[in-house]
Amino acid sequence: MTLKTLVLKRVKDAKIASRILAKASTRTKNNALEKMASNLKGKAGTIIRENKKDIKAARAAGLSKVMVDRLSLDKKRIEEMTASIDAVSRLKDPCGVIDKMWKRPNGLIIGKMRIPIGLIGIIYESRPNVTSDCAALCIKSGNAVMLKGGKESINSNLAIYKVLRDALKESGLPVDCISMVESVDRKVVTHLLEMDDYLDLIIPRGGEALIRMVTDKSKIPVIKHYKGVCHVYVDKEANLKKALKICINAKVQRPGVCNAMETLLVHRALAKDFLPKAIEALRQEGVEIRGCNRTRELADNVKKAKESDWYEEFLDLILAVKVVKDVDDAIEHISKYGSGHSDSIVTENYNISLKFLKEVDSACVYANASTRFTDGYQFGFGAEIGISTDKIHARGPMALKELTIYKYIIFGNGQIRK
């Protein structure tokens, strides 16, 4: 069997399974999720043993310590994976919900009903917990899932995958609701992205290069979870205490994630009062500052920010700082350099706050809060499959509801069109 034939077979089988899953009751789906969680716990030893093979290979290939850490599983991490699945099983089933229903003058009753999307392809990089996290979210939302993880974690992913499929079998759902191709050949991705007769949606999770490649090649709709070049703008009328607290939190609390601040914008009228203090406080937390000329006048030893720094998602303790003329200048900067993820204004001025909330075109726009809240749990959705930076279907935290679509159901009693 050629690789393409194998991929096609898997995709076809998963599509058939998706139709059965779409009809499954909430109870059946929750049952499967509970079994998935308990089986993962029960098989933790096997999974950790398989994970060791990946770690060994990664070290031999000279992967960085950070990369090896991302890849590693231990008992605690497996417990986190099972806790995630349990949390998903407790969430409300989005399928079958009627968003609204109305009656037309001719008597037709039209309802808008939430249903699963169908078969979703997840293309991701090294973290093996993505395997179980995404599988759980897809199953709960009634979607079959085709998983394609990075080659670095192939042994871990396969071990987790087997455990999850056993759970499906035990709960009476088709095992192909969760599918994977065992090969590490990169062509698997190319083949998947062309099978638009079977796959309904692709969600890539990973770095910019992966997402760009998937977007370029895919014939299937893609929802991008791109980079987060997030801004905090400290306005002329900011409360300085709040501003400082928010800036530190947005930059330092977890710098390696997409909702961390990458660029600080400060109103020029406030720069002299605020920036020296802010830079000192940030430096105490280990942050490297790259500033515009005005910033460099106001604080010592600030490296000059290059043009490319304004576009950069540092994912590290590095911050670009720019003094701006006013809120319009700040919005203009965000529009040009931002990634449409999360941006925040700190101000006590009512009208300026509303202007910023209205005019900044990002998935999440904040007034007087840290950008770090952009997250399915923090928004109250209970989970997320990622943060969409796209402008169709879903923006911001994508949770169960965003993994569904709707259909119209129409009740008539013989109506014909005149």
Binding site for a second copy (CB under 8 A): 19, 22-23, 102, 104, 108, 110, 115, 117-118, 196, 200-201, 215-216, 219, 221-223, 239, 241-242, 245-246, 248-250, 253, 335, 357-359, 361-370, 372-374, 378-380, 390-393, 395-396, 405-417
Take residue 373 and report the two structure tokens written for it: 């809240």
DSSP state of 304: E
Cβ 216 to a second copy shortest distance, Å? 6
Could you tell me the smallest distance in angstroms from the CB atom of residue 372 to a second copy?
Answer: 4
Angle between helices 154-170 and 44-60 (to 10 degrees): 160
Q: What is the rounded radius of gyration, in angstroms, for the C-alpha atoms of the chain?
A: 24
Nearest alpha-carbon partner for 42 in 10, 15, 79, 69: 79
Question: Do 145 and 122 touch, CB atoms closer than 8 A?
Answer: yes
- Least distance in Å: CB of 64 to a second copy? 27
Query: Minimum distance from CB of 37 to a second copy (Å)?
Result: 26
The least CB distance from residue 310 to a second copy, in Å, is 16
Residue 46 or 378: the one with the smaller Cβ distance to a second copy is 378
Nearer to a second copy, 296 or 372 (CB): 372
Q: How far is the CB of 278 from a second copy (least distance, A)?
A: 14
Q: Which of 316, 271, 273, 317 is nearest to 292 (CA)?
A: 271
Nearer to a second copy, 44 or 330 (CB): 330
Smallest distance from a second copy to CB 45, Å = 34
Q: Which is nearer to a second copy, 54 or 312 (CB)?
A: 312
Do 152 and 162 contact (CB within 8 A), yes or no?
no
Q: Which residues contact 201 (CB under 8 A, 6 or more apart)?
A: 117, 118, 119, 120, 121, 220, 221, 222, 223
Shortest spacing between CB 147 and a second copy, in angstroms: 19
Position of tokens 């940030």?
282
Q: For tokens 């879903």, name the residue.
A: 394
- Given the DSSP bridges, would you call strands 201-205 and 119-124 parallel, antiparallel or unpaired? parallel
Residue 171 CB, nearest approach to a second copy (Å) = 21
Say which residue the tokens 């005019």 belong to. 359
Task: Identify the CA nearest to 82 among candidates 135, 137, 126, 133.
Answer: 133
- Compute the least distance from the CB of residue 408 to a second copy, in Å: 5
Q: Which is nearer to a second copy, 168 or 363 (by Cβ)?
A: 363
Contacts of 300 (CB under 8 A, 6+ apart): none
Q: Which residue has the tokens 């923006």?
A: 395
Query: Smaller CB distance to a second copy: residue 54 or 235?
Result: 235
Tokens of 118: 């169908």
Q: What is the distance between the alpha carbons of residues 406 and 324, in angstroms, rounded to a whole number?
A: 44
Task: Compare residues 119 and 147 and give the one whose CB is closer to a second copy.
Answer: 119
- Strand ranges of the sheet holding 318-324, from the earlier edge strand across to the other edge: 303-304, 288-291, 318-324, 261-267, 230-234, 342-346
Is the Cβ of residue 132 or residue 362 nearer to a second copy in the bound state? Answer: 362
Q: Which is nearer to a second copy, 164 or 243 (CB)?
A: 243
Instruction: Please state, in angstroms and rounded to a whole number, the distance separating the CA atoms of residues 377 and 379.
Output: 5
**Residue (66 or 416) nearer to a second copy, CB:** 416
Residue 106 CB, nearest distance to a second copy (Å)? Answer: 8
Contact 265, 326 (CB under 8 A): no
Give me 262's structure tokens: 């990458």
**Nearer Cβ to a second copy (320/365):** 365
Query: Are 344 and 372 within 8 A, CB to CB?
Result: no
**Contact status, residue 17 vs residue 176, Cβ threshold 8 Å:** yes
